[in-house]
Structure 1
Amino acid sequence: MVTTTIEDLHADVLGCALRRLDGRSLAAASCATAGLRALAADTETWRALCLAEWPSLALPGSSHGRRLLLAALPPRRLFADAFPFPSPDAAPGVSDGLGLPGELVSAVDVYHRGAPLLSRVVETPASSPWFLGSPFRVEAVERKRPAATDAASAASPSPEELELSWVVVDPSRGRAVNVSSRRPVSVGRHWYTGDTLVRFAVVLGGCKFEATVACAEEGRVAEVSLAAEDADGAAVGGEGALRLLAAAMEAPRRGGDGEPEEAKRRYHEFVRRKKGRKESKARREALVDLCCSAASAAVVLTCLAAVALR
C-alpha cells in the first residue's frame, strides 16, 4: 500500500495553493512540516498577501512613500506587525531607549463590504519642533481634495458598512502597527456640516487613537483623518503620540476574530471613563467656586459689620 502525503505534490502546485490562503492559515501551514515551512516563507507569497490585504501598497505610479514602506519592512514582518491588533497596555516608556521616529508612513485603506473603496499612502515628517509641539493629526484625505479620483467613491456606500485599516510604519526602525478598530466604533452626524462621521478607534497606553471617515450627504468620502486624545479629552501632542506609537510597535500583538468587538468595548469604556473624569472635575470646580463665593461673602459681611460698628 502506497501512502501519499501532501508533500508528494510538486512544489509549484503547493506554492500556488499556499498563495490562496489568508495570513493566519499560511502561518499555521508553515508549522506542519519543514517543507511547508520553507514554501510558506517565500517572500513573494507574503508580498502578494500584503498587497491583497492593503491595496494602498499596489497603487499605480511612483511614490516615495510606498517604496519606503515596502523597502523598510519585509512583507512577512509587515503582515505580522500590521494584521493583528496592538496590545492596549503598551507603555510609552518601552521605546525610550530607541528614540522617536523621524518619519511616519501611513497606508490607509477604506473598504465597503470587503471591497476596496479608497486607498492612500501618506508621508508625515515627524522630527520638526512644530510637529512635536502641535496636536497630533494626520490627514489621509482632505476636504479641499475630495476623493473623486477613486472610481469606487461614486458608489454612495452606506457609512455603517465601511471598514478601515490605518497602518502606521516607522521606516527607520522597520516596524508597523495598525491603529484602526477595522469596524466602526460609532457613527454619527456632524452638527454643522451634516456629514456622517464614521469613527474607528483603538486605545493605546491610556490614550485613544481615533480615525474619522467623513462622508458627505451624497455618500462621497470627503475626509479621512487620524488624531489622538488622552483620558481628559485633551489632544495628544506629536511627541506624545510618537511615544505611544513606538511603544505599540514594540509591544506584543493580539489576534482573534473577536478583536473588533473588543476594540469597540474598550472605546466605549474609554468614553465613559472620560465622561466620569469630566464630571468629577466639574464637581470639584463647582465646589471650589462655592468655597470662593462663601469666602468672598464672609469678607464682605465682615467689612460691612466693621463699618456699621465703627
Structure 2
Amino acid sequence: MPAASTTTVEDLPADVLACALRRLDGPSLAAASCATSGLRALAADPGTWRALCVAQWPSLETTTTQQHNILLDSPQRLFADAFPFPSIPSSTTDHHAAAAALPDLPLPCELISAVDVYHKGGSASAPLFSRVLETSTSSSWFLASPFCVDAVGSKDPVRAVASFSPAELELSWIVADPRSGRAVNVSSRRAVAVDRHWYTGETLVRYAVVLGGYKFEATVTCSEEAGYLREVSLTVEDADGAAVSGEGSLRLLAAAMAGPRKLGGGDQEKEAGEAKRRYEEFVRSKRGRKESKARREVLVDLCCSAVSAVAVLSFIASVVLR
C-alpha cells in the first residue's frame, strides 16, 4: 500500500507564497519567517518589508532621497527597531544614578524624526498629518538646552479635518540615528492623558514612553472645533519633572536604540494599557517626590524659624538680665 503523501504550505508556488506574505502585518510576517528556511528566504524580501513600513508609517513616503536611503535602506531592521516598544529598565529610584548607569555610547550628531498622526483608524486610514524632519544635535546650544523637537510649530498649524475627537488621535514618532542606522519609537501610539490648557482652552493630547526613570512625552496641541493641529512636539523630563538637556536626551536615545525591545509586540490594547500604566506610575512618583520635597522645605523653614526665635530670645534675655 503506497504511503500517504503530505502537502505543506511550501508546496505552493513561490510567487503565490510571496503574495500571501505581503498581506501579513509585521509581527505575523516575522513569525512566519521563523517557521522554515524557505519561508525565511521569502519573508526576507526587502520590497515586502519596505511596503509594510510605508503602510505602517506613511511619513516615510515623504522622505527625500537621502532620508529614504537612511530610513528604508534596511526596512526589516527599521521595523524591528521601531515597532516594538523600547525597554530600558531602571533598577534604582534615583534617576541620576540611572542616567550614570547608561552605557557609554556615541551620541548621534543628527536625528531624523518620522511623525504620523492618525484619527481612530490608525495606519489603516489616511493620516491627519505626516512629516519627516531632521534635527542637528552637534551644536553646544542644543546639547546644553532642554531637549525639544517640534514637528508642528504654533505659527504654522496644520489643518486636519472639520472636527475630531482628541482622545481618538494616535501618534507614531520614530527617531533614527543616520550614523548607526538604528531607530526607536518614542510614542505610546495611543494617548496616555488628555488635558485642557488652562489659558487657551486648547486640548493637549499626551503620548509618553518611560525609559530608565525618564519620560519621553510627545504632545499634540489641537483645536478640535477648528480642526487644527497647532503644535506637535517631543520633550524629555526626569523624575522630578525637570526638562532634560539635549546631551542627556541623546544618551537616553542612544541607549534605547541599542537596547532590547519588549517581547510580544502586536497586541495593541495590551501595549496601550502598559504604556499608560507606566506613565501613571511616573506621574505618581513625581507627585510624591514634589510633596516630599515640599515637606522637607517646610521642616527646614520651621527649624530656621525656631533657631531665629531662640537667638532673638537669647539676645533679649541677655539685655534684660545685664
Q: TM-score range by the shorter chain?
A: over 0.9
**Cα shift at 1:122:** 1.5
Correspondence 1:22 to 2:33: no
Correspondence 1:146 to 2:157: yes
Correspondence 1:192 to 2:199: yes
The equivalent position to 1:125 in structure 2, one of 127, 130, 136, is 136
**Cα shift at 1:12:** 1.5
Q: SS of the residue aligned with 2:130?
A: strand
**Cα shift at 1:11:** 1.5
Distance in 1 of aligned mates of 2:88 and 2:287 = 20
Equivalence for 1:55 = 58
CA RMSD of aligned residues (A): 1.6
**Cα shift at 1:137:** 0.5
One-letter amino acid of the structure 2 residue matched with residue 84 of structure 1: P
Distance in 1 of aligned mates of 2:20 and 2:148 = 42
Q: Deviations over 1:92-118 (max 9, x none)?
A: 54441x311111111111111122211
Q: SS of the residue aligned with 1:262?
A: helix
Equivalence for 2:233 = 225
Distance in 2 of aligned mates of 1:154 and 1:9 = 45
Q: SS of the residue aligned with 1:253?
A: coil
**Cα shift at 1:135:** 0.4
Distance in 2 of aligned mates of 1:36 and 1:67 = 26
Equivalence for 1:42 = 45
Larger deviation, residues 39-48 vs 212-221: 212-221
Equivalence for 1:278 = 290
Distance in 2 of aligned mates of 1:62 and 1:233 = 36
**Cα shift at 1:64:** 4.5
Sequence identity percentage? 70
**Cα shift at 1:2:** 5.1
Report if the CA contact (8 A) 1:86-1:251 is conserved: yes
Q: SS of the residue aligned with 1:21?
A: coil
TM-score (norm 1): 0.93
1:98-117 equivalence runs, <5 A: 98-113=105-120, 114=122, 115=125, 116-117=127-128
Report if the CA contact (8 A) 1:138-1:225 is conserved: yes
One-letter amino acid of the structure 2 residue matched with residue 106 of structure 1: S
**Cα shift at 1:67:** 4.3
Q: Which consecutive unaligned segments of at least 5 residues does structure 1 have?
A: none
Distance in 1 of aligned mates of 2:57 and 2:144 = 31
**Distance change >3 Å, CA 68–CA 30, structure 1 → 2:** closer
Q: SS of the residue aligned with 1:86?
A: coil
Report if the CA contact (8 A) 2:102-2:252 is conserved: no
Distance in 1 of aligned mates of 2:278 and 2:304 = 39
Equivalence for 2:182 = 175
**Cα shift at 1:156:** 2.0
One-letter amino acid of the structure 2 residue matched with residue 245 of structure 1: L
1:228-247 equivalence runs, <5 A: 228-247=236-255
Distance in 1 of aligned mates of 2:66 and 2:154 = 23
- Across the two proteins, how many residue pairs are aligned to each other? 302
One-letter amino acid of the structure 2 residue matched with residue 133 of structure 1: A
Report if the CA contact (8 A) 2:128-2:161 is conserved: no
Equivalence for 1:78 = 78
One-letter amino acid of the structure 2 residue matched with residue 260 of structure 1: A
Distance in 2 of aligned mates of 1:186 and 1:134 = 26
Equivalence for 1:202 = 209
**Cα shift at 1:80:** 0.2
Distance in 1 of aligned mates of 2:65 and 2:205 = 28
Report if the CA contact (8 A) 2:220-2:229 is conserved: yes
Distance in 2 of aligned mates of 1:272 and 1:3 = 58
**Cα shift at 1:65:** 3.7
**Cα shift at 1:68:** 3.5
Distance in 2 of aligned mates of 1:193 and 1:67 = 41
Equivalence for 2:34 = 31
Equivalence for 2:276 = 264
One-letter amino acid of the structure 1 residue matched with residue 141 of structure 2: W
Q: Deviations over 1:197-216 (max 9, x none)?
A: 00000100101010000111
TM-score (norm 2): 0.90
Report if the CA contact (8 A) 2:162-2:226 is conserved: no
Report if the CA contact (8 A) 1:104-1:168 is conserved: yes
